[in-house]
Chain A
Amino acid sequence: MTRTIAQLPAAVTDAYPYRSRFTEVNGRRLHYIDEGPPDAPPVLLLHGNPTWGFLWRDVIPPLLAAGHRVVVPDQIGFGLSEKPSAHGEHTLDNHIANLVAFLDGLDLVDLTFVIHDWGGPTGLGALLARPGRAAAVAVMSTWAWRQPSAEFHHRVLPWRTMHAPLIGPYLLGRHGALVGRGVYLSVIDRARFAERAQPVYEEVLADPDDRRLTYLWPRCIPLGLASDITTERFDELEAGVRALDLPATVIWGREDDVFTADVFARRWLDIWPHAEGPHLVTGRHFLQEDSGPEIGRLLVDFLGRRGPRASGKMSS
């Protein structure tokens, strides 16, 4: 079923008052918004698991007020995009390829990638496939390497149990544990989130069969186990991002207890010594929920400081 933002409850349309657009990527229907002057250099905001473009609702207004074009896709499997169920659909490579098709379809150039959670490995994978389209990158609570991995992701209680065989489809699929309670536990102002945002995230993944990716993405995180399925791609990602020489900024939740700032934000700055930051803001993993306007202003400042277009610059 195709739904648009305008068909969603007022809690969505009031906070995310943008026109729904659709395009096709690799045969699947992808929902996105595209706001601001069409001839301005675009800013691409990429969400991860289990969110959608709505995550960026408080980040967008400062960018638009500063005159930027803002493009926000819902990754396939989330938000108002198609949620395919075919086995083998939700691989890291397929999702990278979906973004590559999206960049090509909209012919986005001079593009700033703003990436969060699985928006990182997918967005950076697409950037590395189309370096000529990229001008800058902003990272937050994400990663692009095998090691170090998050201590949280190694824990049997609760993380590995949550997405273990049959348990994942029960907890995260049947009961929507990640899209509701999981995000709730990963913000600072839980009362505000429960009132204003949690019902929205649950609304767009209302059916258990639509929540497949919420337990398949966790299984794609490399942990050094024999069953890891993304090892090669993460090795390629790390090599690729190390060779990137784009203006970059690192924005992180001060209270992030999954991708902790001391390990993960630091790692980005080790990889990109030229990067700005880390800019620490109030927030856990879903830092946009607590510090959206501040993140928007940080991005505006970053974009104002970055130099002339340096698309796709790779060091040798």
Chain B
Amino acid sequence: MNGNAQDPSAAVEVLDNSARPAGCRSVPVLAEGELGHYPEFAAFFAATFDLDRAPLEAPGLLRVGGERYYELVFVGRSGRPFPAGVEVGALVAGVEPLDAAQADRDLWAILTWLVAGVGGDWTVEALHETGRIYRIPAARPPT
């Protein structure tokens, strides 16, 4: 997975939490407190991770590029539909440093996977073009 704008979402897999690697710590890399701003994003997470049935079980688990793991911790808030927010954590072995540049490319892949899954008005093409307009490194075409 090179994290470029060609098709990074193809490298994102949804796994059962039993596949969570042992001996890892979670490093917060991205947080969203207002999933309800566009409720279709919350609905996508609810459907993908079966949150209506089991809202407070283990975090969601993603694997990116076949070898890097990310957990999704869903957050509730009184008076709001669940999930109200989500926190993305990179699962890093022991106390080894986070590869921040790789994590940034992986986040772009996760966002691409997210937008493709939400669908409707939201398109991968619009996301990638927005990334190029604002010169996001992970959105640069491969050279």
Say whether A170 contacts B107, CB under 8 Å.
Answer: yes
Chain A 145-186: CB-based contact to B (< 8 A → 1; otherwise 0): 000000000001110111111111111001101000110010
Nearest A residue to B114, CB-CB: A166
From known contacts A156-B122, A158-B126, A166-B32, infer whether A171 and B131 are also in contact, taking CB-CB under 8 Å: yes
Residue numbers in B under 8 Å from A130 (CB-CB)? none
Does A227 belong to the interface (CB within 8 Å)? yes
Nearest B residue to A157, CB-CB: B126
Beyond A158-B129, A163-B37, 13 additional pairs, beta carbon < 8 A: A158-B126, A158-B130, A158-B134, A161-B130, A165-B32, A165-B34, A165-B37, A167-B115, A167-B127, A167-B130, A171-B136, A175-B134, A185-B133
CA distance A279 to B122 in the complex (A): 38
Q: How many residues of A contact B (CB 8 A)?
A: 26
Interface hub of A157, A170, A185 (most chain B Cβ within 10 A) = A170
Chain B 114-138: CB-based contact to A (< 8 A → 1; otherwise 0): 1100000111001101110111100
Say whether B30 contacts A164, CB under 8 Å.
Answer: no
Residue numbers in B under 8 Å from A87 (CB-CB)? 33, 77
Compute the total of residue contacts between A and B using a CB distance below 8 Å.
82
Residue numbers in B under 8 Å from A162 (CB-CB)? 130, 134
Instruction: Output the least CB separation between B17 and chain A (Å).
Output: 20
Say whether A219 contacts B34, CB under 8 Å.
Answer: yes
Say whether B136 contacts A177, CB under 8 Å.
Answer: yes
Residue numbers in A under 8 Å from B31 (CB-CB)? 169
Say whether B39 contacts A164, CB under 8 Å.
Answer: no
Main secondary structure of the interface of B (DSSP, over half): helix
The 6 tightest CB contacts between A and B, nearest first, are A177-B134, A165-B41, A158-B130, A157-B126, A166-B32, A161-B130
Residue numbers in A under 8 Å from B111 (CB-CB)? 166-167, 170
CA distance A191 to B97 in the complex (A): 38
Residue numbers in B under 8 Å from A170 (CB-CB)? 30, 107-108, 111
From known contacts A156-B122, A177-B136, A181-B135, infer whether A166 and B86 are also in contact, taking CB-CB under 8 Å: yes
Say whether A156 contacts B123, CB under 8 Å.
Answer: yes
- CB contact between A164 and one of B77, B122, B134 (< 8 Å): that residue: B122
Chain B 31-62: CB-based contact to A (< 8 A → 1; otherwise 0): 11111111101100000000000000000000
Instruction: Output the least CB separation between B82 and chain A (Å).
Output: 14
Chain A 179-202: CB-based contact to B (< 8 A → 1; otherwise 0): 001100100000000000000000
Does B104 belong to the interface (CB within 8 Å)? yes
Instruction: Output the least CB separation between A166 and chain B (Å).
Output: 5
CB-CB contacts below 8 Å: A79-99 with B: 87
CA distance A27 to B86 in the complex (A): 28
Say whether A158 contacts B32, CB under 8 Å.
Answer: no
CA distance A185 to B135 in the complex (A): 12
CA distance A174 to B36 in the complex (A): 20
CA distance A307 to B41 in the complex (A): 53
CA distance A167 to B88 in the complex (A): 12
Instruction: Output the least CB separation between A99 and chain B (Å).
Output: 23
Nearest A residue to B104, CB-CB: A174
Nearest A residue to B136, CB-CB: A175
CA distance A51 to B17 in the complex (A): 43
CA distance A87 to B36 in the complex (A): 14
Residue numbers in A under 8 Å from B36 (CB-CB)? 227
CA distance A121 to B67 in the complex (A): 48
Nearest A residue to B84, CB-CB: A87
CB-CB contacts below 8 Å: A16-68 with B: none
Say whether B134 contacts A166, CB under 8 Å.
Answer: no
Say whether B134 contacts A182, CB under 8 Å.
Answer: yes
CA distance A80 to B93 in the complex (A): 38
Interface hub of A158, A167, A182, A226 (most chain B Cβ within 10 A) = A167
Nearest B residue to A208, CB-CB: B30
- CB contact between A171 and one of B39, B41, B130 (< 8 Å): that residue: B130
Say whether B41 contacts A157, CB under 8 Å.
Answer: no
Residue numbers in A under 8 Å from B122 (CB-CB)? 156, 161, 164
Interface hub of B77, B114, B131 (most chain A Cβ within 10 A) = B131
Chain B 91-123: CB-based contact to A (< 8 A → 1; otherwise 0): 000000000000010011001001100000111
- CB contact between B37 and one of A164, A175, A185 (< 8 Å): that residue: A164
Instruction: Output the least CB separation between A162 and chain B (Å).
Output: 6
